[in-house]
Amino acid sequence: MLLYRIEKQAYINIFPTRGSLFAEGRWNRRGMWVVYTSETVSLAKLEALANSGSKLPRNRYLSTIELDDQAPVVEILAESLPIYWNQVPYPRELAYIIKQVIEESAYVAALVPSIHSSMEVNVLLFPDHPEFDNYVKFIGAEPMDFDARLK
């Protein structure tokens, strides 16, 4: 499975990225090593737009990552989450769910519902998993522009 992530130029040669160790997100608390990716380029763009404030992201790169089809992955369905899972601010329970998954050490990644597109998923990668390097490979990065009509 190919996965996508939009990065600032400064981070394209760092994989796995470590941003989640310093900042909280919907699915992590500071200090939890989680790499957010998307199953499609368009969803990765939506994620970047949602986190860019009022301006279009500039000088960004599309990172492509391969997740082996045999990788142990858990799917977290929206139906199993609190009814308010997609609200902002995001409920702290979501990070707790992912923390439990990470602590089990059974999965390299988790498929989680996208708040932007209910028909698509984001894929959270867990670099601390002992088999991570056996299942996850960085393929490369290329410049990614955003159409000015998006903002």
What pLDDT was estimated at residue 73?
98
Domain tally, the chain = 1
In a domain? residue 83: yes
In a domain? residue 150: no
In a domain? residue 70: yes
What pLDDT was estimated at residue 150?
82
pLDDT in tens, 40-63: 999 999 999 988 877 888 899 999
| Three-class secondary structure of residue 50 per DSSP | helix
In a domain? residue 126: yes
Query: What is the 3-state secondary structure of 87-150?
Result: CCCCCCHHHHHHHHHHHHCCCCEEEEECCCCCCCEEEEECCCCCCHHHHEEEEEEEEECCCHHH
- Tell me the residue range of the domain where 53 lies: 2-145
pTM for the complete prediction?
A: 0.94
pLDDT in tens, 57-89: 889 999 999 999 999 999 999 999 999 999 988
- DSSP structure class, residue 12: T
pLDDT band at 26, cuts 50/70/90? very high
